Amino acid sequence: MKAARDARSAAVVINAGSRRGAAHELAVDTMRKAGVPISSVHHVLSGGDLAGTLDRVIADGHDLVVVGGGDGTVSYAAGRVAGTNVVLGVLPLGTANDFARTLEIPNNLSEACAAVADGKVVDIDLGRANGEPFLNVASVGLSVAVTEALSPRLKRYIGPLAYGIATLRAYAGHKAFRARLEFPEGDHEPMELENLLQVAVGNGRHYGGGNTVSPTAGIDDHTLDIYGILAAPLREHVKIARLLKDGSFIEHDRVYHLTSRHVRLVTEQPLGVNLDGEIATSTPADFTVQRNAVHVVVPRSSTSALFDGPGAADWPSS
């Protein structure tokens, strides 16, 4: 399939609990009028409903599944279709919508529907943390506390600004931690890091409402960007924060940065791992990249990824 109109049958799965989930009826009608062959529409309100619904629509033989929701919803769906010939369409209905930003999918719902109908299909990488999928970034430390401080009500009413408020709350109570980074493929020596604020592993390019993983990060480069930020006086973290948008923070002397296809993170005590806004596993954690794992519809103007063809995916990477 090179475009959504080439699909035999499309299913739409909407997380009605996402920030803009109430707009699903308009989206479905818009895509149908644009020629997307939608034959079933499903609304979900919980993770359990999402898993069961995705399994059903894949089993029903739809070759295009359009998912509407935030980054957590889309990441989970990507994990379900990874390694198959099912193509994923994306309607960014969440708060941050960083995956859509990475692939240059419009945040405007009408334009996103048009991108599904008129776009092209590309292959993207999928990150895995202990087997659990993530598209943007997996992280340990401050970001977990930020996720815990975010409430659906806060995100719904003030949108992306909720991340700044939650970060301030989490930072005030953060405790530094130690971690060991191991590289099973032998491309780097093990690293012992102390007094950490956060460790993150990036698969995509954007996270956290528009921050950039690194200046060279991409979602089809078949590598993971790994960085550790050391605890420091507040003024230093303010300096780092100012460099998050373009990814140049990796050059700060309180930041360690490298790339690999496989890293294992070990901490003294088990710590939660945030996967695209969902705390889905804990340390010790193995992070791998599943190459060209997911076929996604993107705008024809998007330059973020290419189509390498079926059979290109291989997980785990070796």
How big is the chain, counted in residues?
318
Q: Is 194 a catalytic residue?
A: no
Q: How far apart are CA 206 and CA 126, in angstroms?
A: 14
**SS3 label, residue 219:** coil
Q: Are 64 and 1 in contact (CB under 8 A)?
A: yes
Q: How far apart are CA 243 and CA 179, in angstroms?
A: 24
First-to-last CA distance in the chain?
28
- Residue 195 burial by CB count (10 A; 0-12/13-18/19+): exposed, middle or buried? exposed
DSSP type of residue 251: G
List the beta bridge partners of residue 193. Answer: 179
**Residues 6 or more apart whose Cβ sits within 8 Å of residue 60:** 9, 11, 40
Please tell me which residue in 185, 189, 192, 278 is annotated as part of the active site: 278
In the chain, where does DSSP find H-type helix?
24-33, 47-59, 71-81, 98-102, 109-118, 142-149, 152-158, 161-172, 234-242
- Is the preceding omega at residue 270 within 30 degrees of 0, hence cis? no
* Positions marked active-site: 278
